[in-house]
Each structure stands twice: as C-alpha cells, then as structure tokens.
Chain A
Amino acid sequence: MVRTQPGGGIAITIDPVTVAVLQNRLTAIVEEMGEAMLRTAYSQILNSSRDFSIALVDAQCRLVAQADHIPVHVGAMPWAARAVAEAFPHPARGDVFLLNDPYHGGSHLPDLTACVPVLVGDRTVFWSVVRAHQSDIGGATHGAYNPAAVEIWQEGLRVPPIRLTERGELREDLLAMLAANVRHPRDFRGDLAAMIGAARLGEQRVSTILGELGEPVLTGAVDAMLDAADRHARDIVASWPDGVFEGEALLDDDGHGATDIAIRARVTKRGSEVTVDLTGSDPQVRGFVNSSHANMQSAVAMAFAFLLDPDVARNEGAFRPLRVVARPGAVVWAEPPAPVTLCTSHCSNEIVEAVIVALSACCPERAMAGWGRRFRIAIEGAQPRTGRRFIWHLFQARPGGGASSCGDGWNAAGEWHSAGGIKFGSVEVTESRFPLLFERHEFRPGSAGEGQYRGGTGGDLVLRLETTEPSHANTAGDGARHGARGMCGGMDGAPHRYTMEVPGGGTRVLRTKETGIVMPPGTVLRVLSGGGGGWGDPASRDPEARATDAAEGLL
C-alpha cells in the first residue's frame, strides 16, 4: 500500500516484524530514559517516590510510547507537547522547552515538563517528553499545595511554554529567574538537569533509529503501532453492550465552604466507541480542587485505560475510541485564574470514579471499586539538637486499593491516580533523619469496604513528634467525608480519620484542607487512612475468605 504522509513523503506499509521490533525499541528507550531520571534526580520525591513520567510523542503530538510511572501524568503529556509545538512552531536541534502552567497545556504547577524535539532536517518528527513533580514550586506554602489559595498566583510560579535552551545553549538568565522563585534552588537545578538529560537521551536514541532506518520506516511503523492499539481497544469496547450510562462522584469539599461537589459523567457506549460527557458536573469552585483541561483529559483517559486489558499498548491508538465532552467553567475544567493544585489527585480521582461508576452498569466485571483518596500532611519544624529546619511529607499509611471481580483489593496500595506507583520511605530511615517516632504503622482493621471481594485495608499510623519547639503543618487532600467507592453492590471503604493529640491540649480531628496547624513538641498524630471500596454483594462473599480475614485480624 502506498499513501501520502503528512510531511509530503511517500510511505509504504511496514512489514509486521519491523513494527514489532520498533515497538520494542521505543519501549526500551522510554524505560532507559526513566532509569536515567531515577538515578540522577536529586530530590526524594523523584528518586525515591518516582513521581515522574516519560513519553515519546510524534509530530502530531500523538502518544507513541510511555514508561509506566504515574498514570495521571500519561494522558496529559501530549497536551503539554501540543502547547509547546503551538508556541514554538519551528524548534531547532538542541532546543529544550519547559512548561507547567495548567492554563497552557500543563496539569498543575508542581509538574514541570521538559520537551526536546527530534528533528529530521528542520522538521520535528518526534518529541521526547519528561514530566517530574517538583518538591517545591514557590507560592505561599512550602511543597506546592496551598489549600488557602483562591487564585493560581497564590499556588506558585507559572511557566507557560518557554525555550530554556536554545540550540544547545542554556539560557542561564532564565534558569536563574526560575530558581529564584522556588524554595530549594539547588534541588530544583539538580532535578531539572536530570529531566533535561533524560529527555536528551530519548532524542539521541530516536535519532539513531531515524538514521538507521529513515523517517518513512519509523513513522510508518508508528502508524501501524497506533492502529494496532486502536484495533485492540475497539475489540474490547465492542464486546460491551451499547447504552447510555451515568455516574456521579462527590468531593468532600473545597476548603472554602462548598461541600459535596459533584462530578457527573454521562457515558455513551456505541459500537466500538465511548463518549464521556462531563457537562453535568458542578461549576468551578473557589478552592484548589478544580481541574485543568489537560488533567481532565488525562483522568478520563486513565479511567478508560483501567477498564481495558493491561496488555493494550498505551499509545494514542488505544484512546481513539474515546471522546471527551466538557465545558469550561466547570470543576472538571476550570477557567483562569482558579487554583488547581490538588487536581492531579482531586478531582482526578472523582472523574475516574464517575466514569467507572457509569460503566459499571455496562462492563461490571471490568469496573474495579474505588481506590483510596489522598490526604497529605507536610510538617515543617526544627531538628532538636542542630536547629536545622526540616520539612517532612507524609507518604506512609497508604489507603487501600479497590476490589474487583478478580479478587480483594491490595492493602495499603494507594490512590487511583498512582495505583501502587508511589513508594513510601523506610521508617528506620525516617526516624534517623527526622525527630519523629513511629509508635505504630500497620494495616487498619475494619477499614476495607465489604463486598463479594473486599477492598484493601487502609493504614493505622501513630506518630510522635520528638521536637523541642513547635512545628507547623499543612494538610491537602480529600476523603474524610466520602470513603473509596464500593462498586457493583460492594460497600464504600471507611473514610480517612486523622487526629492530633497535643500534650495537655486534648485531641482534635484534622480537616483535609488546613494551613498553619501548630504542633507543639510531643504532639501525637493518629492517621487512620481510608480502606478501598468493595466489589459485589457482601452476601456472596466466600465464608472461608471472611474467616481468613477474621483470623488475620483484618475485620
């Protein structure tokens, strides 16, 4: 078959073996980029918790290959590349572009994205893309989560698409300006160097293939890969019954008075196509639970990917059967200058929840129950002997994973948007580095949502501050009111319950969106994180499984 290419060239159909070989090579390239990033990054959120993602997109900014890191990043990265390509239609070899602005193709401010073009002559053929969550991005609070923000400028530094490196020449002035606006400039520079290094590695590797095989073979093979994933996804979707299905998910609140904020998905499944219409969702709110456009697209794509088979190649082809309808001004697609920092977790997870609840009536055996919601705490204080300032982020006490038709949920495996991709640090290392004592860190019995298959349990953490002067904390999260969603007759998981006991000062419950919490020395935090949702009617649970749970002390 002979056909015309967008670039004007002629391409022939590529033989299936070459397609398979190149798919393996492109996957190997993104994995190699991920490994380089992991080993060279400087801040703990990247080199330990791996909160970064890698993608290759083609000239039309179609996702070609991605390394499995953080699901909520993946569907969003082509939007970032698109914003760069629009802002800079004629990139040169050696250019590096950067962005984070949720109103210019980004998801939220902490996720900085580096894009490096892969050129043939002076034409862009691919983009090598690296996205990484920065440990700080300026703004009013440390660590980029500011529940008090009511406009985006209070959330941190906005970077619309910029050319940081021009034909291999780093623009030091621009970098100095960026670094001057964040709290840890040394980490920021180190992490940025790692991101650019990984993106350049991708550019080199893809250029090597282009040099060996030529552009028509590689782009022809990419077309074939995307088409294959499209066919694979459509095959699966076509096996579901047609219909129109509705789902709703509720956020606890926005921290500024709005409660039970609704995300509504009306999902039409016809033939091999799925249309997700979010226009029935609530209008945007004051607090930072609003979603950016790219993040909304990514959340819907993530829900769709979760419902397909895990061996579907996650490239643009797999998402072709999917159409998203929404209107700006809604909580799922906020208009500037609304704050959006929490959106990669909330309302991402609620978008996923609404889509999966809707489709649970269509393909119940594929619809997994809800995974836990995120509820973070960042404590800022002083080391007792040295007086050195420290900032500690809570990653322990992971909430439970959701159950499914295939079995119980994973205990303490995290949230829908990371799905077991975030690692928490060692208690021994944490105690050696911070004035904290983990009196207990175990599963939380009774937290799992009941069902034919139960959810995963949440965590139970008792943490004592061994400080000698007061510390300050912020929270950022959701799910203290609504637990992880039960599915197909299963029950919701227990919601989060975080309390703080001050010596001689009684105990109080922490809200999910607070700033400026004072924690005197000896304060004890009790973190009871939510369990995962159950799947199926609890009455159908195998009595033996229930007996095992009882013997295991998990009920």
Chain B
Amino acid sequence: MTAWTIGIDVGGTYTDVVLAAPDGTVTVAKAATTRDQSDGVMEGLRLAAERVGRSVASLLAKTGRIVHGTTVATNALLERKTPLVGLLTTEGHRDVVDMREGLKPDRYNLRMPAPVPLVARRLRLPVRERMRGDGSIEVPLDIGSVERALDTLEAERVQAIAVCLLHAWRNPAHEAAVAEAARRRLPDAFVTTSSEVLPQIKEFERFSTTIANAMVGPIIHGYLERLQSRLRAAGFAGPLFVIMSHGGVASAAEASRLAVGTALSGPAGGVAAGLALSKTGLGAQLITFDMGGTSTDIALVRGGRASLSGGRFVGDARIALPMLDIVTLGAGGGSIARLDRSGLLQVGPESAGADPGPACYGLGGTRPTVTDANLCLGYLDASLGRQRRLDGAASERAIDRLAATLGLDRAATAAGIHRLVNARMADGVRVATVKRGVDPREHTLLSFGGAAGLHVCAVAAELGITCAIIPLHASVLSAWGMLNTDLRIELMRSQPQGGGIAAAPLRAAFAEMEAEGRERLHWFEGALEVHRSADMRYGEQVFEISVPLDACFDGDDDTTAAAIADAFHGRHQDLYTYALRDQEVVLVNARCSVTGKFRAAAAGRSIASAATQAERTRRVYLGTWIEVPVHSFEALGEDEIAGPCIIEALTTTALLRAGDRSRFDPRGWLEVAVGA
C-alpha cells in the first residue's frame, strides 16, 4: 500500500481520527465534536497530521481514501431538527405512518403525550391513483391531483418530498410519474420514492423509512457537500466514503441518495472493527461491547459476519433498512446512580453526558456517576491521559451523599454502582445473544470505548464468557474499524405472494439486482463480490428469517426451488430447534449484496502512545482495599500477567480481578482469560 488511509468517527463528545500510514502504523487523534461536525473533523485532521509531523495538505495529498462515520442523520432524527417535508400518497391512506400499526410504547403510561407526526397532516396530500396487490392498476394516476397537491407543497415551501403509494413495491410506475412531476415543479426539493428507498411489502415500514429519508436527505446532502469541498480545499483528491447502518461503506453520493441509511453510521464503525479483528485471528465468534459515556452498543460477529436486523426506530421514525443488529443500552460511564422512588438503587438511563459530565470532571456535576464510582474505587488514575485532571474529592462527595441515603459506606456504595452497571451490561449482552438463540459462552467479548476496560472482565464472568479482548486502540476502535470496511450496496425486491417458490422469476430478480449493484459500483477498480439471500417464513407465520442462498442456484429450476426451501428449513431448525418440512414455505424478500473489498489496514502498536510507564502500585477496592500492581499497556511483554491488577494505556484502562490472567498480543490487543 502506498497511500495513507484515514478513518474519522464522530461521537457525541469526541471526534476520533485514525491514520494508517503506508507501512501500517496507526496514529490516533481526538478533537472535540462540534455543532457543524465538519469543523471537528478538520480540527481532528489537523491534530493527527501534527502527530505524524506533516501538514494537513501534505497528508491529504498522500491519502488514498477517507472513511467517515457520522451521527448527523441520527441526531437530526432524535432531535427532530429536520427540514419541512411533504408527503404525496394514495388517496384514502394518508395516515398510514401516523397510525403506527396501532402500537404505542410503554403500556402503563396512558398519559404519555402522543409523538408529533413525522409529516404534519396538512402536508400529507392525497394523489388520485390506486395499485392492486398484483401490480395491476385499479385507478389510473390522475396527474391533475398531483399538480394540485404540488400547488400546496410549493406554497408551503417544503424542502423535501416523500412519494409513498400503496403497492409501489410491486409496480413503481405511479411513484415514478409523481416524483417526476414533483422534481419538475420543485427543482430544489429533495424528492424520494418508497419504491427506490425500500421496495418491500408492508406500507408502514416502507413509508416511514421513505419519509425519514426525506427528513434527513437535505441535511446529509448538504453536510457531505460541505465536508467534501473543505477536504478538497485542504488538498484531498481521493474519494470520501461514509459507513452505513449495514456496516459497509458507500460513496458520498450514494450516502446522500439513501441518507436514512446513515442512521447507525456512528456505532457501525465499532462493529466493523470487530469484524476486522475477527479476521485477523481474534476468533470467529465475537460480541462487540462498546461502552461510551451515555450508552453502550452491543453486537454479534459470527462466522466472519455481523448479524443484520430488519430495522429499528430512530427517534419516532421506523427505519426498515437492513442494519447492524446493535442493542443499545442507556448506560455508560456517565450514567447517574440514584435511588428510585421505591428506594432501590438504579444506574441510568439519565446521564451526566459531557457537560457537566461526572462529578470528577469538575464542570459542575454533583450527582454520582459510574466514572465517579470507578475513581473512588481506585480503578481510574486521576491524572492519566485526559486533557484534565480528575477531581477525586468531588467524586467522593457525590458518592458519599448517595451512601448516606443507602446506609452504606463510600466504598460499598461505589462498589454497588460498579456491580449494578455490570449486571445491566450483562443483561444487555443477554438480550443481544440469548434472546436471539445464541449462547454467549461460545463467544469472545471484545471491549472498547472509553469505559469498557474496567467492566469487561466482570461482565464476561457473569455471562460465563471465558475470553475477553481489550484492544490497544480501545477508545478509538470505531474510527480504526472504518479503515477496515468494505464498499457495499444492499438491494432487495419483495416477491409476489402465493404459489410457492418460483425459481425462474427469482433468478431474474437476483440478476436484475446484481446488475444494478455492479452498475452503481462501476467505478470500483477491484473485483466485486455478490451474495444472495432471502427473507423467508412458513405460510402462516409473519416473522421472516434471513436465509443465505448463495449455494442454491446451480441446478435447474426444480432443483433450485427445492434447495431454497431446504436452506430455509435448515436455518429454522438452527434458530428455533425445529423445522416443519411438510409446510408451505414463503419467500417474501429477495436480497442481494454487492461488495468491493478494500485492502485492510493493519493493527499493531501505536507510535503515538510512546511514553512507557514504570510499574507502580495503587490501592483499589475489590471487596476490601488492596494494593495492586499498575502496568503500562506499552510496557507489557508477552509473558502472562495475573490479576488483580490495573493495565493502563493513554486512552483506556483495564481492570483484572483475582483469577483473571492476561497476555499481550503484538497484533495490538490484550487477551484476558477470565476467571470465574
């Protein structure tokens, strides 16, 4: 490799930049995240360039590609700071998304205020037309009704238009005609159709996803344009990629078109890192455990693949695109410990965030957080590595107040907080594994994010997991992961229902998708990889499961149909312990992924964290106060280290309990054999 590669991860507090030099060495830098995220990105690049002794211009001139994870879309949806959107939809059906399929969260909270609709009803306008379930036309499109609706949207100055018609997944002709009329009348508006965004049966999910795309489309488009022009002005001539919710990367243009596909761009980098590490010898079965300040993201990597889910809610919008199956817990280092109204100790979901932050940040926070507990217990060093010294006395005051109401002493209270957050993390891992029929004990727990190293061994022990990994770049692993992702396009087509599996039309659908994927990646120089799969279920079920079909298309049509059904039965058996071979099998969605492989960046020791620390000791609380050795990550040899001890790096700290044993792997991580 002759060029540099840059990964940039924008988080809630910090913007992490990771540089991979042509020789594989990795340098990290952290800048504060800014309101316009491109400011923080440019500052991070400046700091990173400084660390390798170059100017930004000379670094960018030698940079082959930049991969970027952004929370712009996520934040816009969560905070509902989105441009005005208009909806054009089938007459008689303009409330589909607002009806939410009849569901309301929080069953016993009847006084919960209803959400503000994604699109105001006065901007949900009917178009006279109707498709039938088989794609035939029941009512032809009345273009006059489209023009009348556009009169209103023009007068209301909408910035984006979602076109969502019933059964458009089956026949997109009306949507295409409506979109064309909309683009003609409002050339500056972002126009998007449900048949382009998600050609899949089930109108609620398709419409909601399309509307969410319209909500974030203009924002993502504007942001990426701005960032690209700033990068170009700074001397970057290569391509900018964005990591998508499915864990692959897409060109900036592709990410603008399917803007809603960036909704999980932030946490996707961590999963990508897990995937990359699993391929470098970390084991094929990983649980990624990304513990940040306010939340913790947990995902599964199995057999060299990260599992995908069919979608989730981001804010009030259901997004039904394939995305990494990430379980997010509202607990992290900044989570606040308190007594609830029944007098029981709780940790989170309320968080002190970055401002005021934990009490020990000295920024005005007075309520005890997980980080404060860790500091009181001696697990954290008040002077280590951060821009500021931690204020231990402030942590003690915060913990003492809680201790008084609990009737415990300071150490027992702090240890209680530590233990409770560990239990919540373990429950989160159970949700991500056991609920999906996966045994966590067969996995390695990969811990990263600022706070994870202090909790990972206890969490692993509670789950019966025997191996935990703490990478050297734990605190910036998401950005590092972005250097190791592939270019990917996910395509899907719902299939006509009824009449069993028909191989010939399916073959045609896959061929069409493959052609589309190849066309969209025509500029890519390497070889493209194509994978086929389908969402399938038994006739009476409604829950589809994803079935890989790569091996099914070798024979004639009958053989193919039988092989597909067989693949489904086998998968059902794996997941739910039984298969019903005499029952009708339904193939709902055909899916195709087209992937272009980049060359991966190497891991390895950092050149940035050069300062080797001498071995010290520190008093920590592990049931009682004891003096334990403190090792520096950088100074570790390849010999085994036994807990209890602390291992510190510039941006991460690990706690080994008695019974835990660890070994440093020169590929860049600490491998812990977890004691019971």
Contact = CB atoms under 8 A, between A and B. Distances in A.
Contact of A402 (B110, B122, B166, B343): B110
Interface string A199-232: 0000000000000000000000000010011011
A47 interface: yes
A361 B202 CA distance: 45
A298 interface: no
Nearest to A402: B110
Interface string A299-337: 000000110011111100000000000000000000000
Interface in B416-436: 416, 419-420, 423-424, 427, 430-431, 434-435
B614 interface: no
A187 interface: yes
A439 B420 contact: no
Contacts of B184: none
B92 A32 contact: no
B45 interface: no
B523 interface: no
A39 B427 contact: no
Contacts of A24: 420, 423-424, 427
Contacts of A451: none
Interface string B511-552: 000000000000000000000000000101111000000000
A427 B89 CA distance: 14
B308 interface: no
Contacts of A408: 113-114
Contacts of A554: 121
Contacts of A409: 114
B138 interface: yes
B112 A424 contact: no
A405 B111 contact: yes
A21 B419 contact: yes
B107 A71 contact: yes
Given A17-B419, A427-B93, A439-B92, A231 B343 contact: yes
A414 B341 contact: no
B94 A442 contact: yes
Given A20-B420, A442-B93, A420 B105 contact: yes
B110 A28 contact: no
A456 interface: yes
B419 A306 contact: no
B381 interface: no
A404 interface: yes
B102 A443 contact: no
Given A306-B110, A401-B110, A420-B107, A412 B99 contact: yes
A426 B201 contact: yes
Nearest to B345: A20
A48 B202 CA distance: 13
A413 interface: yes
A75 to B, nearest CB: 12
A540 interface: no
Contact of A25 (B102, B415, B427, B576): B427
Given A368-B110, A428-B201, A423 B103 contact: yes
Contacts of B102: 395, 398, 412-414, 420, 422-424
Contact of A552 (B106, B121, B341): B121
B132 interface: yes
B167 A428 contact: yes
A349 to B, nearest CB: 13
A401 B98 CA distance: 14
B133 interface: yes
B95 to A, nearest CB: 5
Interface stretch (A175-183, A430-438, A513-521): A430-438
Nearest to A406: B111
A137 interface: no
A310 B121 CA distance: 30
Contacts of B541: 42, 47
What is the predominant secondary structure among interface residues of chain A facing chain B? mixed
A422 B423 CA distance: 32
Given A47-B542, A235-B341, A412-B102, A71 B114 contact: no
A44 interface: yes
A440 interface: yes
B108 A314 contact: yes
A43 interface: yes
B203 interface: yes
A553 B107 CA distance: 28
Contacts of A462: 92
Contacts, number: 202
A411 B543 contact: no
B497 A433 contact: yes
A347 B594 CA distance: 56
B251 interface: no
A429 B342 contact: no
Interface in B298-346: 340-346
B203 A428 contact: yes
A40 interface: yes
B95 A21 contact: no
A19 interface: yes
Nearest to A32: B435
Contact of B103 (A44, A420, A553): A420
B473 to A, nearest CB: 31
Nearest to B406: A16
Given A414-B102, A462-B92, A431 B133 contact: yes
B137 interface: no
B4 interface: no
B114 A407 contact: yes
B103 A23 contact: no
Given A71-B107, A310-B106, A404-B110, A228 B342 contact: yes
Contact of A20 (B202, B346, B434, B497): B346
Contacts of B415: 17
With most chain B CB atoms within 10 A of its CB, the pick from A48, A235, A310, A368 is: A310
A410 interface: yes
B507 interface: no
A452 to B, nearest CB: 14
A432 B111 contact: no
Nearest to A197: B577
A35 interface: yes
B576 A39 contact: yes
B342 A553 contact: no
B104 interface: yes
B122 A551 contact: yes
B542 A16 contact: no
Contacts of A305: 108
Interface string A11-27: 00001110111011100
A442 B95 contact: yes
B427 A44 contact: no
A367 B434 CA distance: 39
Given A17-B420, A395-B102, A28 B201 contact: no
B114 A68 contact: no
Nearest to B416: A17
Nearest to A23: B344
Contact of A411 (B114, B341, B538): B114
B106 A44 contact: no
A538 interface: no
Please list the 4 inter-chain residue pairs (A to B) with the smallest Cβ-Cβ separation, ordered nearest first: A420-B104, A440-B92, A232-B342, A310-B109
24 contacts: A16-B345, A21-B423, A25-B427, A32-B430, A32-B431, A32-B434, A68-B108, A228-B342, A231-B343, A311-B341, A313-B342, A401-B114, A402-B110, A407-B113, A408-B114, A411-B95, A412-B95, A421-B104, A422-B102, A422-B103, A432-B498, A437-B138, A439-B92, A442-B92
Interface of B: 92-96, 98-99, 101-114, 120-122, 132-133, 138, 166-167, 169, 201-204, 340-346, 406, 408, 415-416, 419-420, 423-424, 427, 430-431, 434-435, 497-498, 538, 540-543, 575-576
Given A28-B427, A404-B110, A424-B102, 12 more contacts: A20-B344, A21-B419, A23-B344, A35-B435, A231-B343, A305-B108, A309-B341, A411-B95, A411-B98, A419-B110, A426-B203, A431-B132
